[in-house]
């Protein structure tokens, strides 16, 4: 049986710690939440979540959650104040260490846990490029980035070699959280254990090396490449890194700068996390490029929106925002019938399958602009002129999230906020606020 082969491999790997691993595997999977500082602060979570915030060692934004916590039932989850994430899954971005103003590439980004963590650390400054080759997963990524209020991102569905060709030498930091055999997730997914095989491990390792080789082309000189997996196998972890470095000696491995988990089995510079280390199962290593890189792509030339579309966009921003930041109007861009607000540092997008660049402001329909949910989600209430504010335990919140109209004594578009966190918007008629919460996100009636 394949699972017996897996356990034999783990016994050999862990030696005297095998019994501790077995005991840990009998415990419930770890649960956690990660604060989204783009939309909320720690005090907001402390005030509203039904458990104390105990920080995990894997990220200052990550907190343990009890087994009986159901994030989808909490209104601040829908508002994007936090992301539901197993604590040790935040370790790779901690090692990546994004800094505001940098250009960051997340190569295998869906469903968005690591990309939204990167976005929170960038604090709206710089550029985040989040890529996912599987289209269905790319849509999930886009939805999560929108919920978490990310303004400065590009979402693409590109094969990694195409990114290497078009975005060579462009990024300060690149994250490869590679598809793997998922051995670290067996405590959460019994079926994954039954489907495991040595052949699958080998195939994953081969694919990981190829992804790394392509992703490396996107790193600038002296830039950082972080490789991570959620598996235990040496072939996919230390072995994949050794194979990569043999082919790219212009990259050097450096210390991760963290103390969680334990040193890897090769150089000791990478980190491994086992269930007995307080997480599920992860491996992370940090590499630096020491060779010159290509000049990178040309900048994206924004064709300034003119005429009716531009006026509609300018009027909406001036009516909606308390203060329109300098240069914002110049980043308005029409894509078919949608008006976008493009991020800074955008490279030439020619030949790249981009699903979204920046934030959708709204859809142009004849002589009017219908605002987009994503625009409001990317704004904090204090930035907006018109806000309908609720405490987190208001009985009207489930009704709004179900798509119902709620009382509002003003006219025009207004954001809806929960504890100072925007969750959606609607249009008032002087008595009620007509709901514009997207149908695909609405809570079922059974939750009311």
For the chain, how many structural domains are there in total?
2
Nearest partner of 413 among 334, 315, 309, 323, judged by Cα: 315
153 and 279 inside one domain? yes
**For residue 199, what pLDDT is reported?**
94
236 and 336 inside one domain? no
Domain assignment present for 109: yes
Structure tokens at 78: 């829908």
Domain assignment present for 34: no
Catalytic residue among 108, 138, 218, 230: 230
115 and 239 inside one domain? yes
Domain assignment present for 347: no
Any idea what the CATH number is for the domain that residue 418 is in? Answer: 3.10.450.720
408 and 311 inside one domain? yes
> What's the sign of the alpha-carbon dihedral 259, 263, 264, 267?
positive
272 and 381 inside one domain? no
Mean pLDDT over the full length of the chain: 95
**For residue 244, what pLDDT is reported?**
98
Domain assignment present for 232: yes
102 and 237 inside one domain? yes
Domain assignment present for 22: no
**For residue 448, what pLDDT is reported?**
53
**For residue 264, what pLDDT is reported?**
97
Q: Which domain holds residue 334?
A: 307-341+358-447
**For residue 366, what pLDDT is reported?**
84
Q: Going by C-beta distance under 8 Å and a sequence separation of 6 or more, which residues neighbour residue 207?
A: 178, 179
166 and 236 inside one domain? yes
Domain assignment present for 45: no
395 and 442 inside one domain? yes
Structure tokens at 378: 């990317």
282, 232 in Cβ contact below 8 A? no
240 and 323 inside one domain? no
369 and 402 inside one domain? yes
CA–CA distance, 218 with 161 (Å, rounded to integer): 10
267 and 311 inside one domain? no
279 and 335 inside one domain? no
Which of 289, 318, 349 corresponds to the end of one domain?
A: 289
Domain assignment present for 183: yes
Q: Which residue ranges in the chain fall short of pLDDT 50?
A: 1
CA–CA distance, 89 with 111 (Å, rounded to integer): 12
Q: Is 230 an active-site residue?
A: yes
What is the pTM assigned to this prediction? Answer: 0.97
**For residue 31, what pLDDT is reported?**
94
Any idea what the CATH number is for the domain that residue 220 is in? Answer: 3.40.50.150
Domain assignment present for 378: yes
């Amino acid at each position: 049986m394949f699972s017996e082969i897996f356990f034999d491999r783990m016994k050999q790997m862990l030696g005297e710690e095998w019994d501790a691993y077995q005991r840990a595997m009998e415990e419930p999977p770890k649960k956690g939440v990660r604060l989204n500082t783009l939309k909320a602060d720690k005090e907001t979570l402390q005030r509203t979540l039904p458990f104390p915030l105990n920080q995990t060692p894997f990220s200052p934004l990550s907190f343990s959650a009890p087994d009986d916590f159901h994030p989808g039932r909490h209104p601040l989850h829908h508002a994007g104040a936090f992301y539901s994430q197993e604590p040790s899954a935040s370790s790779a971005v901690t090692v990546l260490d994004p800094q505001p103003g940098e250009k960051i590439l997340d190569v295998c980004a869906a469903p968005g846990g690591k990309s939204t963590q990167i976005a929170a650390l960038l604090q709206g400054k710089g550029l985040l490029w989040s890529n996912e080759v599987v289209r269905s997963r790319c849509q999930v990524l886009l939805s999560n980035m929108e919920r978490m209020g990310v303004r400065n991102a590009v979402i693409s569905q590109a094969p990694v070699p195409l990114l290497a060709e078009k975005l060579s030498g462009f990024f300060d930091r690149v994250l490869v959280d590679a598809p793997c055999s998922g051995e670290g997730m067996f405590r959460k997914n019994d079926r994954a254990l039954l489907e495991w095989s040595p052949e699958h491990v080998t195939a994953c390792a081969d694919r990981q090396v190829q992804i790394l080789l392509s992703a490396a082309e996107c790193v600038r000189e002296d830039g950082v490449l972080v490789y991570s997996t959620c598996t235990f196998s040496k072939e996919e972890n230390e072995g994949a890194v050794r194979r990569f470095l043999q082919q790219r000696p212009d990259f050097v491995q450096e210390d991760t700068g963290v103390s969680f988990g334990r040193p890897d089995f090769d150089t000791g510079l990478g980190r491994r996390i086992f269930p007995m280390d307080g997480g599920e199962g992860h491996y992370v290593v940090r590499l630096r490029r020491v060779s010159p890189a290509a000049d990178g792509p040309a900048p994206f030339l924004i064709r300034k929106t003119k005429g009716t579309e531009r006026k509609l966009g300018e009027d909406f921003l001036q009516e909606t925002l308390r203060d329109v930041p300098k240069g914002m109007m110049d980043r308005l861009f029409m894509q078919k019938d949608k008006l976008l607000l493009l991020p800074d540092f955008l490279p030439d997008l020619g030949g790249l399958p981009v699903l979204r660049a920046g934030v959708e402001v709204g859809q142009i329909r004849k002589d009017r602009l219908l605002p987009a949910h994503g625009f409001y989600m990317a704004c904090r209430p204090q930035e907006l002129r018109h806000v309908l504010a609720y405490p987190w335990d208001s009985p009207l919140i489930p009704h709004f999230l179900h798509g119902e109209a709620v009382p509002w004594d003003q006219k025009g578009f207004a954001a809806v906020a929960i504890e100072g966190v925007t969750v959606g918007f609607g249009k008032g008629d002087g008595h009620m606020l007509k709901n514009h919460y997207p149908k695909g996100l609405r809570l079922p009636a059974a939750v009311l």
